[in-house]
A and B are shown apart, each in its own frame.
Chain A
């Protein structure tokens, strides 16, 4: 190997690592914070319990991500006999990338979209809508599929689920304090010498943690999207096909009637963690980088690939 064209992207690596680190720190801060606030009365176990609860919910979502997402999008699995072109395309891409072939699903909706989900590459599902099948050319569809297969190969469902567990724990606490489910904090709070009630402190800490985790998750999701674009473009060697697909899809979502958008929106809201919507191809949600950012990166890859040799 004289020279590799596949040089790393240091900026992406640094940002990804920073965000992951901050999310981890946030999780620890939540557990320690809760332990300190209520620790005096209930022991430090409660903070740990809340943390474990967040992890458990996240784990459940991750383990069932394929079923939940397929049901939410009303998608069904298709066999090679039903969709030979789609399967042929994915077969070749998987052989190029040397990864196990995921199951293939089709959702009957005119909204152009595609998503990948599943707890591991062995249990993954790649799903496209009938809208995207009708809208894109074969090359563009291949670019989109390569993007989704990159999500599978990068284990993005796992990463996003782990990253969202702090947010889930904080969200549970926020709801709990609002509805008084954690009312037993109040009993201790009145014994405090005139300070803020403990339940209010818990609420404030959880809200703050939830807000920070929300922003960090969006950041992380955007970097994962860029990483998937990049890997997908290198896999197909056609950054231009993915670029034109992205342009068509963003345009297409604007053109689709309001009713369909709301239908899909309601389905996505079924999931607490943005893990599922986070690995879809919708560019208009805040979990995705802007179209210009993605096109810029693809243009850079294009320039690198077409650089003359020697």
Chain B
């Protein structure tokens, strides 16, 4: 933020590099082979819904876009206690192709919202993974930073930091990982975790 923006009291929103989402499918394979974490086939986008008709219309367009394709995923929206909306997409888990389609879906949701001018309201995208023992890790993409980080909740208000660091070290070469640990936002009660 420059001197002029400081004087005029205006901050410019940063642009996210949404193409980073397409790196997730290959990272999913690495996670599967190295840590044993399998994709659940679900994914979600978290954003702040603006008041009024304009946003509602855009959100309806997004839902229509997702449901229009030939092999349409299951789509649903929910809101959490912080007032954010989660748009969840469910695909068939397991194969690489499904993972690719899921990322395309998430990318479509984000670009549509951004094109309508609601980019500043996007918080994160979340792709949950689970291992055979039931441990869950969400791969979170932060828009405003353009980086990923792992979030592994174990029970209410507790997270498995060792597993998170393990995931970070595993994926470090494939994804842009958020270097600031203080930005690894907790997402308690996120759908799919």
Chain A interface (Cβ < 8 Å from any Cβ of B): 1-6, 8-9, 12-13, 16-17, 20, 84, 88-89, 91-92, 95-98, 100-101, 138-139, 142, 150, 153-156, 158-159, 223-224, 227-228, 230-231, 234-240, 302, 305-310
Contact = CB atoms under 8 A, between A and B. Distances in A.
A88 B81 CA distance: 10
A305 B9 contact: no
A77 B14 CA distance: 30
B52 A306 contact: yes
Interface residues of B, number: 44
A12 B183 contact: no
A3, A17, A237, A302, most chain B CB atoms within 10 A: A237
Interface stretch (B69-77, B95-103, B114-122): B114-122
Contacts of A153: 1, 11
B42 interface: no
A91 B6 contact: no
Contacts, number: 129
A302 B51 CA distance: 7
B51 A239 contact: yes
Q: Tell me if A's interface is mostly helix, strand, loop or mixed.
A: helix
Nearest to A96: B123
Interface stretch (B30-38, B53-61, B159-167, B168-176): B53-61
Given A142-B83, A237-B51, A159 B11 contact: no
A306 B11 contact: no
A92 B155 CA distance: 21
Contacts of A309: 54, 57-58, 61, 116
Nearest to B11: A153
Nearest to A91: B185
